[in-house]
């Protein structure tokens, strides 16, 4: 590729997550030329990362090759490459190998990365949970700890940083994993699971009823929420808190926050705001660049009430589809329209048989199977961008939710699969330890 601008519309999409895939689908459906660039050859589904980390799903089940997703889209070209630089003024990206791709439009959909807020040792020693590689790295670490564990008291103790949905979901799954490992006599005593958060509740974005539900469910299953506590430092063998206390642990899981993907730092001329994310106009364009859009987790997308929309799968997917529609409007000589988000609610799975959801304008609160059904509907919709067989996901998920498999944890290489029915050519190339990433951290 050269730096020359192409004849006719050519949309360069940086990032093949929920936002980028939805955008490329919308444009590809209309025969518009798209180049989708992602450092991975696959799309990954973050809401099920904790399932991979706790050996309940193989990583391949939540990662689908971009080439398979766009097989029927002749105008969508996939480039598997790291983008080193964004040149918004020239509607171009530069790849780490030096190639430059220039389009008539540029869509930035590079997602997020863990934010360690400068906590010493966190980037080096904590396990983030933002990519399938992160989840797989954590799974292997837990597995090797268990194999080496029996004589080593406390080796399986885990500290989860962050009491939001990511922290609560992984903590819930870990309590079940520990119970299963004890029941199957792989360990004699469960490791402790401590969930640390600076705030005064778990699931702060939810209602008080959901705070209580999450707290009760986690504590009943043996987790220990430690609220009003900040992390001061993470070491290889312990974590220190800001009240001077510490916990010995070799497993600190970081769900403590996120900021924009690091490639945003390479961009010139873009305004960034909260979380280092790109501030966008109501029509999702970047101020001063009418042909540059930012969508999904990488963007601060204004809501109708002046707040910023949360970093959620539905926001990412809908903003991607909206940008495709706005580009098409422009190509037809029409005006771009302000993004209208259809709020799907907020929800979290706290383990088998336990979920909370708050949906609708008045945030109607649901727990248990009803909440799970709401979760399932929303997540099947999110998965539909990458998979046509969402019924396979539905049937796996009901099975997971319903069944008490606490004593039959798939600790081996054969977890219960989602019956996607993909052929063997559709296997993604998941590289757990890249040369360019650090261990254990390394997302985006």
Ligand X SMILES: Cc1cc2nc3c(=O)[nH]c(=O)nc-3n(C[C@H](O)[C@H](O)[C@H](O)COP(=O)(O)OP(=O)(O)OC[C@H]3O[C@@H](n4cnc5c(N)ncnc54)[C@H](O)[C@@H]3O)c2cc1C
* Residues contributing to the site for ligand X (CB under 6 A): 15-20, 37-40, 46-47, 49, 82-83, 109-112, 129-130, 165-166, 261, 263, 296-298, 311-314, 316, 444
**DSSP SS3 for 362:** coil
Instruction: Kindly state the smallest distance separating residue 400's Cβ from ligand X, in Å.
Output: 14
Element (H, E) at 282: none
Nearest 5°: the CA angle 132, 272, 16 is 30
Instruction: Kindly state the smallest distance separating residue 9's Cβ from ligand X, in Å.
Output: 22
Nearest 5°: the CA angle 57, 60, 66 is 140
> Judged by CB, which is closer to ligand X: 111, or 256?
111
**DSSP SS3 for 33:** strand
> Judged by CB, which is closer to ligand X: 144, or 262?
262
CA distance 132 to 143: 16
Instruction: Kindly state the smallest distance separating residue 202's Cβ from ligand X, in Å.
Output: 15
Instruction: Show the tokens assigned to 357.
Output: 């959801």
Buried-state track 315-332, b at ≥16 Cβ within 10 A, e below 16: bbbbbbbbbbbbbbebee
β-strand partners of 358? 346, 365
> Judged by CB, which is closer to ligand X: 79, or 187?
79
Closest by Cα among 168, 138, 175, 159 to 235: 159
Instruction: Kindly state the smallest distance separating residue 282's Cβ from ligand X, in Å.
Output: 18
CA distance 350 to 354: 5
Q: What radius of gyration do the chain's Cα atoms show? A: 22
> Judged by CB, which is closer to ligand X: 125, or 344?
344
Instruction: Kindly state the smallest distance separating residue 188's Cβ from ligand X, in Å.
Output: 30
Instruction: Kindly state the smallest distance separating residue 180's Cβ from ligand X, in Å.
Output: 21
> Judged by CB, which is closer to ligand X: 149, or 164?
164
CA distance 296 to 425: 29
> Judged by CB, which is closer to ligand X: 29, or 82?
82
CA distance 291 to 288: 9
CA distance 137 to 443: 11
> Judged by CB, which is closer to ligand X: 202, or 298?
298
CA distance 125 to 235: 6
> Judged by CB, which is closer to ligand X: 223, or 357?
357
Instruction: Show the tokens assigned to 215.
Output: 């707290």
Instruction: Kindly state the smallest distance separating residue 334's Cβ from ligand X, in Å.
Output: 26
Instruction: Kindly state the smallest distance separating residue 300's Cβ from ligand X, in Å.
Output: 12
**DSSP SS3 for 208:** helix
Instruction: Kindly state the smallest distance separating residue 187's Cβ from ligand X, in Å.
Output: 25
Tokens 């900021």 belong to residue: 259
Strand bridging mode 63-65 / 76-80 = unpaired
> Judged by CB, which is closer to ligand X: 41, or 330?
41
């Amino acid at each position: 590729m050269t730096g020359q601008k192409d004849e006719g519309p050519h949309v360069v999409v940086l990032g093949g997550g929920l936002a980028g895939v939805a955008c490329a689908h919308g444009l590809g459906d209309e025969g518009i030329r798209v180049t989708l660039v992602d450092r991975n050859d696959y799309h990954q589904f973050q809401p099920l990362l904790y399932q991979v980390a706790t050996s309940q799903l193989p990583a391949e089940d939540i990662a689908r090759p971009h080439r398979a997703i766009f097989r029927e889209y002749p105008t969508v070209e996939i480039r598997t490459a790291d983008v080193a630089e964004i040149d918004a003024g020239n509607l171009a990206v530069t790849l780490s190998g030096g190639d430059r791709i220039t389009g008539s439009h540029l869509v930035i959909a590079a997602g997020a990365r863990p934010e360690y807020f400068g906590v010493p040792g966190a980037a080096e020693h904590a396990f983030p949970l933002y990519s399938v590689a992160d989840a797989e790295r954590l799974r292997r670490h837990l597995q090797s700890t268990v194999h080496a564990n029996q004589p080593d008291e406390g080796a399986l103790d885990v500290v989860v940083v962050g009491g939001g949905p990511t922290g609560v979901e992984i903590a819930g799954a870990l309590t079940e994993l520990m119970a299963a490992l004890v029941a199957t006599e792989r360990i004699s005593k469960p490791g402790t699971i401590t969930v640390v958060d600076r705030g005064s509740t778990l699931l702060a974005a939810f209602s008080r009823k959901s705070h209580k539900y999450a707290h009760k469910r986690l504590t009943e299953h043996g987790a220990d929420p430690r609220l009003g506590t900040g992390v001061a430092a993470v070491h290889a063998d312990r974590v220190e808190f800001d009240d001077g206390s510490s916990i010995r642990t070799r497993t600190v899981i970081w769900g403590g926050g996120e900021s924009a993907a690091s490639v945003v730092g390479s961009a010139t001329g873009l305004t960034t705001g909260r979380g280092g994310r790109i501030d966008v106009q109501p029509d999702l364009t970047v101020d001063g660049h009418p042909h540059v859009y930012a969508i999904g987790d990488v963007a601060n997308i204004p809501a109708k009430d002046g707040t910023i929309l949360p970093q959620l799968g539905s926001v990412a997917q809908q903003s991607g589809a909206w940008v495709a529609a706005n580009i098409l409007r422009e190509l037809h000589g029409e005006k771009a329209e302000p993004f209208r988000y259809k709020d799907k609610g907020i929800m979290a799975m706290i383990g088998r048989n336990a979920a909370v959801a708050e949906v609708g304008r008045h945030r109607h609160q649901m727990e248990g199977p009803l909440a799970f059904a709401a979760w399932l509907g929303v997540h099947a919709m999110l998965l539909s961008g990458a998979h046509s067989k969402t019924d396979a996901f539905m049937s796996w998920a009901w099975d997971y939710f319903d069944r008490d498999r606490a004593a039959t944890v798939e600790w081996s290489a054969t977890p219960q699969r989602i019956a996607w029915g993909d052929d063997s050519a559709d296997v993604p190339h998941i590289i757990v330890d890249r040369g360019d990433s650090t261990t254990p951290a390394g997302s985006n």
